Amino acid sequence: MIDISWRKGLKKTHVKLYDDIDQMPIERFNKANKFWMLHDNIGSSISDFDTNHFNKIILLAGDKEKCKAEIHNFRILVYNIQNEINVEHRSFACLVHSINGEEINDLSLESLDNVLKRLSDNGLTQELLKKKLSRSERKSTMT
């Protein structure tokens, strides 16, 4: 497990994450894998417009069926952004074992979104998450 902690004011939040997908319960692995796949193929943010879709559409312009499929994926990305759905964040939520000692076992979309809201309300930002995870990865590779 990876342990990450941070403070927002006087309140400290402690999160345990699965660090080895092979150690995850099967249902959790399958759910996380689904979101990773969606993120890889569709994306999660506006920056994915160019990197995942516009460039592919241009490259696939000669293949009508593949181009239509790519436009469909682009539409899903736009829908997700409009509805504040971030599949990369949902995949992260699947990795959360516990928050302040409370195990997270409900993997429904509503529960995963609640995990993200709870962490966000407790001060977790994208920047902080990246810092904490990169520090944890460095520690685990040094041992």
Read out DSSP for 46-64? Answer: TTHIIIIIIHHHHHTTT-H
CA atoms within 13 A on the CB side of 69: 9
pLDDT tens sequence across 9-64: 999 999 999 988 888 999 999 999 999 999 888 888 888 887 778 888 888 888 88
pLDDT tens sequence across 58-92: 888 888 899 888 889 889 999 999 999 999 999 99
Residues 6+ apart with CB under 8 A from 57: 67, 70, 71, 74
* 137/64 Cα distance (integer angstroms): 43
Residues 6+ apart with CB under 8 A from 84: none
Has this prediction a pTM greater than 0.85? no
